[in-house]
C-alpha cells in the first residue's frame, strides 16, 4: 500500500483533528487509500504554537509526549489534488482552514487511525509498505 511521511503534529491532525488537506509542493495522481506515516523529525513540531492552533484550527496542539514518531499511524483516502487558491480555496471542495495558498492541496477523507502505531522507516515522496505489515494484512 502507498504511504506518505508527514511531520508531527500534522500527521496527528489528519487522523485525529479533522485536517482534511495535506499541503505539498508537489501534486499527486494517487487517489484512494494512503497510509499516514509520522516522520521522525521534530522540526515542524518545534515550530508550532498552541495559541495559533486554537485560533487557526480550533483544536488544541497535542503535547509532544502524546505524539508518535517513526511509525505508521493509520489510513486516509486521497479524493483529489488541487492547487490551493486564496483564502484556502480548494477548487470544487470549497475552502479549508488547513489549506495553504500556493501549495498543492491533497484533499483527504475517511481518516482511520490504527489501534496501535506500527514502527516503520519513512521515505521521501510516496513509498510502498508491504500489506503483510498492516493490521489484517491490509488497512
Dist CA 70 CA 75 (whole Å): 15
Please say if the pLDDT value at position 76 is more than 60: yes
Question: Which residues, 6+ apart, have CB-to-CB distance to 136 below 8 Å?
Answer: none
When pLDDT is cut at 50, 70 and 90, the band that residue 136 belongs to is confident
CATH of residue 7's domain is 2.30.130
Within-domain flag for 85: no
* Count of structural domains, the chain: 1
Written as nine digits, the cell of 58 is 480550533
pTM given for the model: 0.94
The residues near 127 (Cβ < 8 Å, ≥ 6 apart) are: 2, 3, 4, 5
36-45 tens-digit pLDDT: 999 999 989 9
pLDDT at 138 exceeding the cut of 70: no
Confidence class for position 139, pLDDT limits 50, 70, 90 = low
The answer as to whether 7 is a domain residue is yes
Mean pLDDT on 74-97: 97
Q: Quick check: 137 pLDDT over 80?
A: no
Mean pLDDT within 127-136: 92
Domain that holds residue 11: 2-76+109-126
**Would you say residue 138 lies in a domain?**
no
Q: Is residue 135 part of a domain?
A: no
**Position 23 in a domain:** yes
- Structural domain includes residue 82: no
Q: Is residue 21 part of a domain?
A: yes
Instruction: Establish if 136 belongs to a structural domain.
Output: no
Amino acid at each position: 500500500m502507498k504511504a506518505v511521511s508527514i511531520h508531527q503534529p500534522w500527521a496527528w491532525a489528519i487522523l485525529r483533528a479533522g485536517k482534511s488537506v495535506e499541503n505539498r509542493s508537489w501534486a499527486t495522481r494517487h487517489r484512494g487509500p494512503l497510509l499516514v506515516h509520522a516522520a521522525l523529525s521534530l522540526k515542524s513540531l518545534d515550530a508550532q504554537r498552541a495559541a495559533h492552533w486554537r485560533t487557526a484550527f480550533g483544536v488544541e496542539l497535542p503535547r509532544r509526549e502524546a505524539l508518535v514518531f517513526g511509525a505508521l499511524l493509520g489510513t486516509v483516502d486521497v479524493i483529489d489534488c488541487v492547487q490551493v487558491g486564496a483564502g484556502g480555496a480548494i477548487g470544487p471542495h470549497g475552502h479549508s482552514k488547513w489549506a495553504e495558498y500556493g501549495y498543492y492541496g491533497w484533499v483527504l477523507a475517511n481518516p482511520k487511525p490504527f489501534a496501535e502505531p506500527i514502527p516503520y522507516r519513512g521515505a521521501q515522496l510516496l513509498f510502498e509498505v508491504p500489506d503483510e505489515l498492516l493490521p489484517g494484512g491490509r488497512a
